Amino acid sequence: MSATTWLRDPNPRSRLQARAGQAWLGWLRFARNPLAMTGLVIVLALLFAAAAAPLIATHDPVAQELAGRLQPPGSGGYLLGSDEFGRDIWSRLVFGARITLYIVALVTVTAPVFGLIIGTVSGYFGGWVDTVLMRVTDIFLAFPRLILALAFVAALGPGIENAVLAIALTAWPPYARVARAETLTVRNSDYIAAVRLQGAGPGRIILGHVMPMCLPSVIIRVTLDMAGIILTAAGLGFLGLGAQPPLPEWGLMISSGRKFLFDQWWVATMPGLAIFIVSLGFNLLGDGLRDVLDPRSASR
């Protein structure tokens, strides 16, 4: 029996087989969508670049070589040209992928978890807890994200960790909203009542029986938000409030290339292309995932 017949078996013999079969069907639906596959390839390429950065890079990302400064792409062994300190732009981009992933990873493990807790607690208890928590959420939603992040960074001081903290502090409210909406739909269902009659406390019900129901919509939202996180981080870097030199952060690289925009266009253009391609990849992937995980919107 080959693997696909096992996966496609209409009468699965175990829970594992049923789950694997569902996942396989989802994957087939996802793989039919060329745009989503493009996104997946881009994101995998980013992961690969970050993991194998020392192997892919042709130069040291921070070593300065003033003799070879501002070389155009392709000349002198500089694949995408060199910057004002003679650093190879290609190598800096490859190492910069690590910083981008670091920021995205840190934000996506903090903000959604926080939002999930606020949202499920708010939706499950209702009443004044709901009112208070949702008011707080609304207040945070009322700020434009970048401006609030700017104010936070201004208070905490520039740097990657503070940028991550600022982005996470501004990113959680939408997750809380999504989680609350999902919680409201399951709160009064029979299975929750059954668990409650068995004597489970609110903490146990929320953690074990409500949160798992909220996960798919939160995950979709996270994937769709990743591009936004990358863009906000790059914006903070561009303003000089995110990663600090000589780190090869992409937004920071654009801002230093700004001085040479009209004469050495590649210094500012190349990192921007990298940001564009990566966030496009996350957007395409998120769109595809939504179509697979959320059948309600699949008919679009």
Partner 1 sequence: MAESTLIETSPLLRTARQVGGFLVTLAVTLLGLLAVTFVIGRVVPIDPVLAVVGERATTAQYEAAREALGLNEPLLTQFLIYVGDALRGDFGRSLLTSQPVLSDIARVFPATLELSTIATIFGVALGVPAGVLAATRPGSWVDQLVRLIGLAGYSMPIFWLGLIGLLVFYGNLGWVGGPGRLDTSYQFTFELDVTPVTGMILIDSALAGAWDVFANALTHIILPAGVLGYYSMAYISRMTRSFMMNELSQEYVTTARVKGMPEWRVVWVHALRNVSVPLITVIALSYANLLEGSVLTETVFAWPGLGLYITNALFSADMNAVMGGTVIVGATFVLLNMISDVLYKLIDPRART
- Name the residues that contact partner 1, by CB under 8 A: 135-136, 138-140, 142-148, 150-152, 154-157, 227, 231, 234-235, 238-241, 251, 254, 258, 261-262, 265, 268-269, 271-272, 275-276, 279-280, 282-284, 287, 300
Q: What tokens were used for 143?
A: 């700020």
Q: How far is the CB of 127 from partner 1 (least distance, A)?
A: 14
Least Å distance, CB 262 to partner 1, is: 4
Of 80 and 213, the one with the shorter C-beta distance to partner 1 is 80
Structure tokens that stand for 194 in this block:
């059954």
> Using CA atoms, how far apart are residues 103 and 226, in angstroms rounded to an integer?
10
Residues 13, 17: Cα–Cα separation, whole Å: 7
Closest distance of CB 238 from partner 1, Å:
5
- 293 DSSP β-pair partners: none
Distance CA 183, CA 188 (A): 9
Q: Looking at this protein, which amino acid is placed at residue 3? A: A
As a whole number of angstroms, the distance between CA 233 and CA 143 comes to: 17
Residue 17 in tokens: 């087989």
Instruction: Give whichever of 213 and 274 is closer to partner 1, judged by the CB atom.
Output: 274
Contacts of 180 (CB under 8 A, 6+ apart): 118, 119, 120, 122, 123, 130, 134
What's the closest the beta carbon of residue 282 comes to partner 1, in angstroms? 8
The nearer residue to partner 1, 40 or 268, going by C-beta atoms, is 268
Give which of 278, 285, 269, 276 is closest to 45, Cα–Cα.
278
Q: What angle do CA 94, 49, 52 make, to 5 degrees?
A: 105
- Only one residue has tokens 């999930």, namely 116
Is residue 192 a contact partner of residue 210, using CB atoms and an 8 Å limit?
Answer: yes
CB-nearer residue toward partner 1: 88 or 225 = 225
- Smallest distance, Å, CB 289 to partner 1? 14
Q: Which is nearer to partner 1, 125 or 265 (CB)?
A: 265
Q: How far is the CB of 35 from partner 1 (least distance, A)?
A: 8
Alpha helix ranges (H) inside 206-249: 211-239
CA distance 146 to 163: 11
**Least distance (Å) between residue 99 CB and partner 1:** 15
Between residues 19 and 259, which has the closer beta carbon with respect to partner 1? 259
